[in-house]
Amino acid sequence: MTQLQAILDPILDDLSIVDQRLKEFSQSSDLPTLGELLQHVFASKGKRARPALTLLASGFHEHDKSNVITMAAAVEMLHVATLIHDDTVDEADTRRGRVTISSGWGDRVAVLVGDYVFAASATYVCDTGDIQVIRRFSETIMELSRGELQEMSLSGNPVGNMTEYLQRIYFKTGSLFATSGESGARLSGADTAKVDALTSYSRKIGTAFQIVDDILDFESDEISLGKPVGSDLVNGVITLPTIFAMEDDSIRQHVEEYFAQGKPPNLLEDIVKGIEECGAVDRAQKYADNLAKEARDSLTLLPDNRYKESLEALSHFVVARVS
Amino acid sequence: MTQLQAILDPILDDLSIVDQRLKEFSQSSDLPTLGELLQHVFASKGKRARPALTLLASGFHEHDKSNVITMAAAVEMLHVATLIHDDTVDEADTRRGRVTISSGWGDRVAVLVGDYVFAASATYVCDTGDIQVIRRFSETIMELSRGELQEMSLSGNPVGNMTEYLQRIYFKTGSLFATSGESGARLSGADTAKVDALTSYSRKIGTAFQIVDDILDFESDEISLGKPVGSDLVNGVITLPTIFAMEDDSIRQHVEEYFAQGKPPNLLEDIVKGIEECGAVDRAQKYADNLAKEARDSLTLLPDNRYKESLEALSHFVVARVS
């Protein structure tokens, strides 16, 4: 059993019902074009980190599983909707090894299909009947688009600012992770203290997940990552390794020159090398590791069971170095 | 007092609170870029037909107004979000006399701002606390995007089919009109029979409104409409006047040739002339007039009051010929 299989073991059956729900949704449209697009989008399973979080967070109380499974399907649908619009915004050609809607069918179709999946995910959440969960879900959609807008609005004039960075990655990633865990806990009937603990855990895991993603942009080679090393900097996006590295005056100067001079590729190479050599990548990794530890600490008040073991293992898995 | 002023008279105070809510929303973002965009979008008031419908439909019962006003703001926000994405999809330059988000700030920003306003409108609906209304609202967003997708998917291979047309304009326009009226009625505490009556009225008004819009595409001159006469045909969209006209074999042949030959402008001129001369535009107008009458008939079971008078007057106003 791989590490990931072990983590998912307590929820394997439920996760396959979630997959079934997603498949049913992708086959539900009576409009042939839309049906084809939905089946294309949902054909490849993603990591399913968010539905897994919803299901694991529900594992501390006896409850009717149907609402939690519906919610788990909804968070994955919301994630997929976000990807459809993000790929449109980022002009990405492929996603999960398949052509994106925007590159295969055009931006216009991608905007509308994304809207459709967003709205469909909200109807699933409505089926849970829990207004607090429904409201939090809508707020999460606001935060996701706000995070992308924040990243975009700064890309013309990048600043390396820790507060801004943490806020931005909360909106981009932490928010939906938090909502995934929170809704699973709430719908299982957990009390406020446990809901808060699982929300805090999920938010921290989401933030750590995003930081590791940002680290990989410096570490991976182009082939395994599918995009050039340092692509965030090329896009004007400053992430944690760069923020740490810019404490060094000479690297800060380099980064400022890079943007001032219209991002010449030779300067990028120097900067990426500088960021790795000054230990900033290691510091960023330690920051993520520490968040994962804080996430585990949030779980203290929960009873020991296999769900808790999985959540603990997940916190290690999320920050495990891939390269 | 103009006809429209008379219609809105019973709800003028409430409508100005709705305007205030929209203004507050447009000023609520702590992200400067987003704030600027929201203020741009909400600076010009539209016709506010949808919030007016919500408010008028609530006028048959004593009720706490705050939920209805929140709902009225939400339907207008949803409409605005739709316009942001539609203008992106249609590559429109201006809207309500102002530059569109997509043409002024780019498609990427427009996609995300539209998402943000969609989600924000859903949080407003959550504030009403009525799950049935919330769910219907999410379904409406699905139907709106489905309607646009249906129109787009047919534009490559247009067919003049009455069933398809009525379904398409229900999704595009009727659905949100119906939801606007239904939610106002429901949140005011109306019983099922009255909710159904006001929903039916609103759906028919929405459908009639869209048919008149489609007629104007043939009737208006380019200057007053802001787009060329026959622009729907240019975009591969077949509407009611064309469907009626295509009962005539020679016009059907002309239309088929027009699309088969890649839409030559000289053929368009002949078709538009043919559609007007064969009486199809008048037939479409009669169809809309009849829908407006059916809408009024739906109101029979409601007590006579100034709200009912306004709804009756609105049904006449919606189908009044502009040119």
ipTM of the complex: 0.91
Per-residue pLDDT reduced to its tens digit, A276-288: 999 999 999 999 9
Nearest CA in chain B to A154: B33
Nearest CA in chain A to B143: A116
User: Which residues, other chains included, contact A309 with Cβ-Cβ below 8 Å and sequence gap of 6+?
Assistant: none
B149, A33: Cβ pair inside 8 Å?
yes
pLDDT of residue B226: 60
| Beta strands A98-99; B94-95: pairing state | unpaired
CA dihedral A70, A72, A75, A80 (to 10 degrees): -100
As a whole number of angstroms, the distance between CA A43 and CA A19 comes to 10
As a whole number of angstroms, the distance between CA B69 and CA B124 comes to 10
Q: Is residue B229 over pLDDT 90? A: no
The closest alpha carbon to B116, from B58, B29, B192, belongs to B29
Nearest CA in chain A to B128: A131
Nearest CB to A126; choose among B109, B138, B149 = B138
DSSP classification of residue A94: E
Q: What is the mean pLDDT of chain A?
A: 92
Three-point CA angle B305, B306, B309, nearest 5°: 95
Q: Which two tokens stand for residue B172?
A: 């595009």
Nearest CA in chain B to A105: B153
Secondary structure tally for chain B: helices H, strands E: 18, 2
As a whole number of angstroms, the distance between CA A30 and CA A287 comes to 48
Q: Is residue A306 over pLDDT 80? A: yes
Lowest mean pLDDT among A187-191, A273-277, B150-154, B209-213: B150-154
Per-residue pLDDT reduced to its tens digit, A75-120: 999 999 999 998 888 888 888 788 999 888 888 899 999 999 999 9
pLDDT of residue A230: 87
Chain B residues inside the 8 Å CB shell of A123: 135, 138-139, 142
Mean local confidence (pLDDT), A137-146: 95
pLDDT band of B212, cuts 50, 70, 90: very high
Interface test with A, best of B38, B80, B91, B115 (most A CBs within 10 A): B115
User: For A205, what's the count of Cα atoms within 13 Å in the CB-facing half-sphere?
Assistant: 33
* pTM for this model (two decimals): 0.92
As a whole number of angstroms, the distance between CA B143 and CA B140 comes to 5
As a whole number of angstroms, the distance between CA B195 and CA B201 comes to 10
As a whole number of angstroms, the distance between CA B233 and CA A103 comes to 26
As a whole number of angstroms, the distance between CA B187 and CA A321 comes to 53
Residue by residue, DSSP assigns A194-258 as HHHHHHHHHHHHHHHHHHHHHHHHHHS-HHHHSS-TTHHHHTT---HHHHHHTTSHHHHHHHHHH
What's at A304, amino acid-wise? Answer: D
- Please say whether the beta carbons of A113 and B152 come within 8 A: no
Per-residue pLDDT reduced to its tens digit, B42-97: 988 888 999 999 999 999 998 889 999 999 999 999 999 999 998 888 888 888 78
Domain-wise residue ranges, chain A? 3-319
Q: What is the mean pLDDT of chain B?
A: 92
Mean local confidence (pLDDT), B225-238: 82
What's at B97, amino acid-wise? Answer: G
Lowest mean pLDDT among A47-51, B153-157, B166-170, B179-183: B153-157
pLDDT of residue A323: 45
pLDDT of residue A64: 87
Chain B residues inside the 8 Å CB shell of A33: 149-150, 153
Q: Is residue B323 over pLDDT 50? A: no
Angstroms from A70 CA to nearest CA on chain B: 14
Q: Is residue B1 over pLDDT 80? A: no
A149, B33: Cβ pair inside 8 Å?
yes
What's at A14, amino acid-wise? Answer: D
Nearest CA in chain A to B154: A33
Give the B-side interface with A, CB within 8 Å. 29, 31-34, 85, 88-89, 107-109, 111-116, 118-120, 122-123, 126-127, 129, 131, 134-135, 138-142, 144-146, 148-150, 152-153
Q: By three-state DSSP, how is residue B45 classified?
A: coil
Nearest CA in chain A to B110: A89
pLDDT of residue B222: 58
pLDDT band of B206, cuts 50, 70, 90: very high
Q: By three-state DSSP, how is residue A261 classified?
A: coil
Q: Which two tokens stand for residue B137?
A: 């609202």
Mean local confidence (pLDDT), A178-202: 98
DSSP classification of residue B282: H
Q: Is residue B169 over pLDDT 60? A: yes
Per the DSSP assignment, residues forming a β-bridge with A98 are A95
The rounded percent of chain A whose pLDDT value lies above 90 is: 75
Q: Which two tokens stand for residue A47?
A: 């990591």
Nearest CB to B134; choose among A31, A112, A126 = A126
The closest alpha carbon to A302, from A210, A188, A137, A140, belongs to A188
Consecutive H or E run containing A12: helix A12-26
Angstroms from A36 CA to nearest CA on chain B: 12
Give the A-side interface with B, CB within 8 Å. 29, 31-34, 85, 88-89, 107-109, 111-116, 118-120, 122-123, 126-127, 129, 131, 134-135, 138-142, 144-146, 148-150, 152-153
The closest alpha carbon to A18, from A60, A55, A57, belongs to A55
The most confident of the ranges A218-227, B2-11, B291-300 is B291-300
User: For B27, what's the count of Cα atoms within 13 Å in the CB-facing half-sphere?
Assistant: 7
User: Which residues, other chains included, contact A272 with Cβ-Cβ below 8 Å and sequence gap of 6+?
Assistant: A218, A229, A230, A233
Residue with more model confidence, A161 or A90: A161
As a whole number of angstroms, the distance between CA A180 and CA A65 comes to 15
How far are the Cα atoms of A50, A73, A113, A281 from residue A47, in angstroms, in the given order?
8, 13, 21, 25
A116, B149: Cβ pair inside 8 Å?
yes
Chain B residues inside the 8 Å CB shell of A146: 29, 31, 34, 116
Nearest CB to B146; choose among A32, A34, A89 = A34
Q: Is residue B219 over pLDDT 60? A: yes
Residue with more model confidence, A31 or B319: B319
Q: Which two tokens stand for residue A145?
A: 């688009």
Assign residue B158 a region: left if phi > 0, alpha if psi is -120 to 50, beta otherwise?
beta
Q: Which two tokens stand for residue A116?
A: 């459709």
As a whole number of angstroms, the distance between CA B70 and CA B21 comes to 8
Angstroms from A228 CA to nearest CA on chain B: 22
Nearest CB to A31; choose among B85, B108, B150 = B150
A150, B118: Cβ pair inside 8 Å?
no
Pick the CATH number of A3-319 from 1.10.230.10, 1.10.600.10, 1.10.15.40, 2.30.130.10: 1.10.600.10
